[in-house]
Amino acid sequence: MIEREMEEKKGVLTEIIFHNEENGYTIAEMETDDELITVVGNLSKATKGTCYELRGTFKIHPRYGEQFAFTEAEEVLPSSKVGIEGFLASGVIKGIGPKTATAIVNIFGEDTLKIMEEDPGKLTRVPGIGKKKVGDIAKSFAGHREFAKVSLYFQGFGIPSASALRLYKAYGKDSMELIRENPYRLVEEVYGIGFKKADEIAGKMGINGDSPFRIKSGIKYCLMFFISDGNTYMPQDELCERVAQLLDLTRDQVYECLVEMAFTGDVKVEDLDDIKVVYLYSYYAAEQKVCANIADIARGELKVLSVDIDKTIALTEKASGVELSDQQKAAVKKSLTSGLSVITGGPGTGKTTIINTIINIFEESDLKVAIAAPTGRAAKRITETSGHYASTIHRLLEYYYSEGTADMQFGKTAEDPLDFDAVIVDEASMIDLMLMQGLTEAIKPGTRLVMVGDSDQLPSVGAGNVLLDIIQCGFIQTSKLTEIFRQAEESMIVVNAHRINHGEYPEINGRNTDFFFMERNNERDILDLMIQLVTKRLPDYYDGIDKLSDIQVLTPTRKGMIGTASLNEALQQAFNPPKAGVQEKKYRDHILRAGDKVMQIRNNYQLAYKIPGSNEDGQGIFNGDVGFIKAVDNEYGKVTVVYDDEKYVEYDFTQLDELELAYAVTVHKSQGSEFPIVVMPVSWFPPMLATRNLLYTAVTRGKRVVVLVGMENRLDAMVDNDRIKMRYSGLRPRLEKLLSLES
């Protein structure tokens, strides 16, 4: 490629060939006073009719010829009547289209933009423009000019245009001043900008390496990294060491800022299990609150049941045709006589039967019962198996988005608690600390809380180890189910799940089985066979199977040939390859296409959904929700996704970082779900992922068939690896201390 000297070009964009909303990368045609050129570079907004002054160099591309590659861009308002009309007609100003643009310019000519900025009230002289429309136009024009300045400023520091747009939406014209003052706020307030990027920007802005802003941000970054890995705190020594290494500073410098943060209430330092630990204050407060709430619920004065428990159990057994074991009856009675109780057990141990029995007894006693689960899929499954309505915990607590705090809030709180006599929560292993705080805050003492789950599964994705901490504290009524129902014993999925959980190798490939192991000795062969299985062999063999909805590929990892990224690319090509007339959108390193199976990867409490033909439109799509892309609209920059066959959600292109392909998902992301058929690769994985409880969790996701594809020695190694990743969580010792004092 031949380079030429740096120069400036000023002109109007006449054609947008390509524009990436995420990073602003643009290829366009620009008309200058004397030529038409192709320009290539980053623009925050690329709109036909917009005038820019660009600085860059001409380069000869071996395939596309001569291009003006610019590194700096500044929007310039046009001055000629033709230029002004083209600018306004582009649609960049709200309330002005081509016809209105012509009418305005016909009246005000070359003074149009000056009037819009300094005396917009005069626009009422244009037919069809009233006072309200003048206000909209003036506001939009001012916003456009402000954003142009903000974007140009941030451009110089390498902040992507999509991030600049988020900053502008959050802070408006104050964006530059706020980031100049403390560039590290980018880490906390702009999704997609991590600490390292913010640190780089801070360096360009002249922030010193030992700046308190930098050190405090480094401390928060390390704490948040540990929280994202499931912990609620960090040991103080480990925190200071990690931050010092990250920032290339001394531990003493880090410790001084840590003390300041403790005084200002940003963090909490305390002794726990004989060591100094550090919390972000919100997680410390949550742990304290959950502990106190659990104690209040456990010792609450309960409503007396108006039925004979043994007789009601017998009637329930007769009605259902299922006889409860002594172990199950004991679990039912504990839950009826305790303020807080836990029922835990693996597949086939009758947890669903127990839930149904408990519900019947509560209803026979005229108690108001709520049933909930952490995810929509888990709640839907409870509704189907019990015949009783179950909701998500978020919906039970009447979540809403608070403009004041810019965060999710619960409508049900200690001040306005749930109006139920009993609350039953299934899939309790998925409940993290923050959700447990919301739940226990809203349950008034005297309400029975029954938590049901499998404590041997992977812990919650969010921070905390709630279910296991409650069980291990030793003071909460806990029923551990170990007997497998005779009917469940016929399923090799159930049998092998228990074998794996007990450290025994699964029995594979018996006759008439629902559990298969198919040996392949390298990852390319594993990948090829998995694609054959999910696209052809399994849907052809099993009746009534929808190969997209009913078959789920799970994998322990995101990376490598059999990680989610590679698997999704291969499965998308197999299930939904490019077709003429099918719209698609390239985003980051993947393509989203109409018909694709996708997953929401973080909670978005503001995201609106519509249910056609219903009045149940609402807000909130959650981490782990799976849907299908209904449409991709490149003209208007929208992707429409349908969840649960009924919830229609529109994503703006700037929101696509919330979506991932979901033909394959990690085992962690599958928690709380069941699928008719599960297919999973078995190969070498990092030891922290190749664990017994991860394999156990994966196998228990399969309802009808489980197929493992890979190397038998690696399968055995996963069973042998009983390494459970320890989480830093203070709930258990807090409960032990508080409840032991009370008892």
Residue 470 lies in a domain: yes
Q: Does residue 340 sit within a domain? A: yes
How far, CA to CA in Å, does 362 sit from each of 11, 336, 357, 371, 440? Answer: 75, 8, 9, 12, 20
Can you give the pLDDT at residue 4?
53
pLDDT at 2: 47
CA-closest candidate to residue 393, choices 340, 436, 341 = 436
Beta bridge partners of 271: 276
Q: Quick check: is 44 in a domain?
A: yes
CA-to-CA distance for 388 and 64, rounded, in angstroms? Answer: 64
Are 86 and 65 members of one domain? Answer: no
Q: What is the pLDDT of residue 608?
A: 86
Task: Determine what percent of the chain is predicted with pLDDT higher than 90.
Answer: 47
Q: Are residues 567 and 661 in the same domain?
A: yes
First to last CA, the chain: 79
pLDDT (mean) for 356-380: 89
pLDDT of residue 573: 94
Residue 526 shares a structural domain with residue 630: yes
Question: In whole angstroms, what is the distance from residue 695 CA to residue 682 CA?
Answer: 9
CATH number, domain at 522?
A: 3.40.50.300
| pLDDT tens per residue, range 568-610 | 999 999 999 999 888 888 887 789 999 999 999 888 877 889 9
- Sequence-ordered list of residues with C-beta below 8 angstroms from that of 687, at least 6 positions apart, any chain: 721, 723
Pair 40, 98 in one domain: no
Give the C-alpha separation, 386 to 362, whole Å.
14
For the domain that residue 42 is a member of, what is the CATH number?
2.40.50.140
The string of pLDDT tens digits covering residues 526-578 is: 999 999 999 999 999 998 889 899 999 999 999 999 999 999 999 999 999 99
State the binding site for ATP: 348-352
Same domain, yes or no: 559 and 697? yes
Which of 71-75, 88-92, 404-408, 492-496 tops mean pLDDT? 492-496
Same domain, 563 and 677: yes
Lowest mean pLDDT among 187-201, 219-233, 494-508: 187-201
- Would 346 be classed as within a structural domain? yes
Share of the chain above pLDDT 70, in %: 94
Q: Give 582's contacts (C-beta < 8 A, 6+ positions apart).
A: 593, 594, 595
Distance of alpha carbon 317 from the chain centroid: 41
Residue 563 placed within a domain: yes
pLDDT at 156: 67
Identify whether 643 is part of a domain. Answer: yes
Pair 209, 326 in one domain: no
> 717 vs 80, 89, 680, CA distance in Å?
74, 66, 15
Where a domain ends, among 227, 252, 282? 282
83 touches 12 (CB < 8 A): yes
* Residue 106 and residue 214 in one domain: no
| CATH at residue 209 | 1.10.10.2220
**Same domain assignment for residues 67 and 85:** no
Q: Which of 282, 311, 335 is the last residue of a domain?
A: 282
* Average pLDDT value for residue range 521-527: 95
Residue 487 is predicted with a pLDDT of 65
Contact in structure between 516 and 708 (CB atoms under 8 Å): yes
Same structural domain, 378 and 459: yes
| pLDDT average, residue stretch 422-438 | 94
Is 498 among the domain residues?
no
In a domain, 697, yes or no: yes
Q: What is the mean pLDDT of residues 705-721?
A: 95
E strand segments, 541-698: 551-555, 584-587, 590-593, 597-600, 604-610, 618-621, 626-633, 638-643, 647-652, 659-661, 664-666, 675-682
For residue 580, the one-letter residue type is: A
Residue 1 has pLDDT above 50, yes or no: no
Indicate the average pLDDT of the chain. 87
pLDDT at 405: 59
pLDDT at 512: 65
Residues flagged as binding site: 348-352
Banded model confidence at residue 373, pLDDT cuts 50, 70, 90: very high
Residues 56 and 118 in one domain: no
Region 104-128 average pLDDT: 88
Cβ contact 147:47 at 8 Å: no
How many domains are contained in the chain?
A: 5
CA atoms within 13 A on the CB side of 493: 24
pTM value is 0.78
Distance separating alpha carbons of residues 400 and 618, to the nearest angstrom: 10
pLDDT at 3 over 60: no
**Binning pLDDT at 50, 70 and 90, where does residue 425 land?**
very high
Q: Supply the pLDDT for residue 657.
A: 85
Least confident of 387-391, 415-419, 560-564, 712-716: 387-391
Give the SS3 label for residue 163.
helix
pLDDT of residue 489: 67
- Please check the confidence at residue 640 and state whether its pLDDT lies above 90: yes
Residue 87: pLDDT band with limits 50, 70, 90: confident
Domain range for residue 315? 300-484
What average pLDDT score do residues 713-735 get? 91
Q: State how far the Cα of 720 lies from the Cα of 98, in Å rounded to an integer.
A: 70
Q: Which range, of 60-74, 149-163, 448-462, averages the lowest pLDDT?
A: 149-163
> Is residue 582 domain-shared with residue 674, that is, in the same domain?
yes
Final residue before a domain boundary, out of 30, 47, 75: 75
Q: How far apart are CA 686 and CA 728, in angstroms?
A: 21
